[in-house]
Amino acid sequence: MEKVRVALPTFEVFRAEGGIRVEGGKGFNRVEIRSLTARDLKEGYAVFKTSPAGKPFGRFHTERWSILGIFDNLSRAYEVAKREGGTYRNWVEGWGGHLEVFVNGQRWEVESPFRFEGEVWVEDVWVGRGFHWQRRERAFYKGVFYAYAWGRGVKVVLEVPLEEYVAAVASSEMHPEAPAEALKAQIVAARTNLFRTAGKHHPNEPYDVCAEDHCQVFRGFHVLKGDVLNLSAETAGEIILYAGEPIEARYSKSCGGITEEFSVVWGEEDKPYSPSFRDWEREDGHSASSEEGFRRFYPVEDSFCNVEFHGIENLYRWEISYTQEELTERLKHLGVGKVLHIVPLKRGRSGRIYELSVLGLECERRVKGEYRIRELLGKPFLPSSAFLVEKERGKFVFRGMGWGHGVGMCQMGAIGMAKRGHSYREILEHYYRGGVITRL
Ligand SMILES: [Zn+2]
Ligand SMILES: [Zn+2]
């Protein structure tokens, strides 16, 4: 199976339970390995082997690595590795420097990169850093690791089979109990994004993609559940092409009934395969880009994403309100004084506002960008920027549609389509217009 090399999230400290510890950013490079069965320790290179070998993937046993030895030169390490059935051909050269390696408290200096294999739980890994959902979590990784001396710190790259990577990405992006056809659509989208970005975003670095939003979020294998690995195998190698190139397969939780265009959300050029369209069996002429259009569309119930699923709030429609005092307090950093009106100025076809006026007693301020608008008015974040503002009995009431940016595949809609009997191919053809599903 093809492999993918993922740079794990950048962190100040990479702390792992009973496994590896990597520290960086403090003027030294350091990798610490604990709880290993050490034998035959000699200065130099370490060779590791997971035990027992060949376990089924995705069952989270926490075997420790065993260390086969630390050697004073690389060829001796290769020799032992070979004798023990290891494969150590993948050392990458060119990222020089030395790493300090601590094994059971003992210090060794090794050349970068330092390669090891195993299964490991890591504490406090950032997820979604820089976004409103940012948090830290405990992450599980398994595969071949490379620790690089990187500037003044350490970068850890994980090498894993491609289909396992894709299954893990898809499991963290969609509820693992979603219908199989919806999950398969998500898997093909994740694989497409991998092929679109691999080697392009980080052309001079010794990995294919990073694990963050910049390339595609990979949280580790603790998220892998249910049948996702089998579903990934069922669609193995399939990606979506447009004009011969992998598409930028965007997706969000719920479009709210009409999908949005790239330019509205990211200010970039629109993509021919991601136009705005009705998330339904047929086009019915609705557009929510004007205030009247928005009001006409708001009560419409016929949409794939208007679906019941596992009691998850689908946010097809939602409502949030503020008193004038609350809103004034919330927006005081804008310096407009007491808030009098919130006026949408520009909307995309899905109704998503990308320019807004906040009129206060002292002045007016304009706010641009759907993400910025959601951040500005949410508690702590609005589900989407597709909303109406109405004043009712002294309150500002926001009535909204959808969840997320609304571009590309609507994930609740994919679930809705699967529940109505559509296949993953039909789901992908609906959301990525003119995209051709191709097996590599
Ligand atoms: Zn990246
Ligand atoms: Zn939708």
CA dist list (Å): 367 to 20, 374, 381, 382, 400: 46, 10, 15, 15, 18
Count CA atoms within 13 Å of residue 27 on its CB side: 0
CA 192 – CA 247 distance, rounded (Å): 7
More confident residue, 138 or 277: 277
What region does 432 belong to: left with phi over 0, alpha with psi -120 to 50, or beta? beta
Q: For position 51, what pLDDT does the model report? A: 34
Q: Which of 100-109, 112-121, 423-432 has the lowest mean pLDDT?
A: 100-109
d(CA 36, CA 15): 15
The Cα–Cα gap between 257 and 306 comes to 8
Q: What DSSP string describes 244-300?
A: TEE----EESB-SSB-B-HHHHHSS---TTS---BSSSS------SSHHHHHHHTT-
Q: Can you give the pTM of this predicted structure?
A: 0.79
CA distance 170 to 221: 11
pLDDT digits (tens, 9 = 90+) for 192-207: 999 998 878 877 678 8
CA 347 to chain centre: 27
Q: What digits encode the pLDDT tens for the residues 217-264?
A: 899 999 887 789 999 999 999 999 999 999 999 999 999 999 999 999
Closest ligand to C-alpha of residue 207 is: 1
Can you say whether the dihedral through the CA atoms of 332, 335, 336, 341 is positive or negative? negative
Nearest ligand by distance to the CA of 307: 2
Each residue's pLDDT tens digit, 333-387: 999 999 999 999 999 999 999 999 999 999 999 999 999 999 999 877 899 999 9
Whether cis (ω within 30° of 0) applies to the bond prior to 52 is yes
228 Cβ contact list (under 8 Å, min separation 6)? 167, 170, 171, 176, 183, 187
pLDDT at 103 over 50: yes
* Phi, psi angle pair for 436, to nearest 5°: -110, 120
The arithmetic mean of pLDDT across residues 91-111, rounded, is 55
Rounded to the nearest integer, the mean pLDDT of the chain is 80
What DSSP state is assigned to residue 98?
Answer: E
AA identity, residue 271: K
Q: Ligand 2 centre from 410 Cα, in Å? A: 5
**Strands ordered across the beta sheet of 238-242:** 245-246, 238-242, 436-439
Give the pLDDT confidence score for residue 121 in this predicted structure. 74
pLDDT tens-digit profile of 44-93? Answer: 344 444 333 332 222 222 233 334 454 555 565 556 656 655 433 322 22
- Determine the distance separating the centroid of ligand 1 and the alpha carbon of 211, expressed in angstroms: 7
Pairwise CA distance, residues 336 & 12, whole Å: 39
DSSP code of residue 225: -
Most confident of the following: 27-36, 101-110, 330-339: 330-339
What are the structural domain ranges in the chain?
3-236, 252-440
CA of 275 to the centre of ligand 2 (A): 13
- Helix (H, G, I), strand (E, B), or coil: what is residue 16? strand
pLDDT band at residue 34 under the 50/70/90 scheme:
very low
Q: Are 321 and 395 in contact (CB under 8 A)?
A: yes
pLDDT of residue 36: 35
CA of 280 to the centre of ligand 2 (A): 8
CA-CA-CA-CA torsion sign (428, 433, 436, 440): negative
CA 105 to centroid of ligand 2, rounded, Å: 54
* Rounded Cα distance, 331 and 328, in Å: 5
pLDDT tens digits for 114-135? Answer: 777 777 777 677 777 666 667 8
What pLDDT does residue 334 have?
A: 95
Specify the residue for token string 């690791």.
Answer: 145
Tokens of 278: 């009705």
Task: Please tell me the number of Cα atoms within 13 Å of 365 on its side-chain side.
Answer: 16
Q: Which residue carries 């190139």 as its tokens?
A: 245
CA of 61 to the centre of ligand 2 (A): 38
Convert the pLDDT of each residue in 289-306 to its tens digit.
Answer: 999 999 999 999 999 999
Ligand 2 centroid–CA 313 distance in Å is 14
Separation between Cα atoms, residue 297 and residue 36, nearest integer Å: 62
CB 358 within 8 A of CB 334: yes
What is the average per-residue pLDDT within 262-278? 94
So what's the pLDDT on residue 42?
31
Q: Residues lining ligand 2 (ion), CB within 5 A?
A: 255, 279, 305, 410, 413
Cα separation of 125 and 9, whole Å? 7
Tell me how far the alpha carbon of residue 257 lies from the centroid of ligand 2, in angstroms: 5
Q: Give which of 342, 255, 269 is closest to 304, Cα–Cα.
A: 255
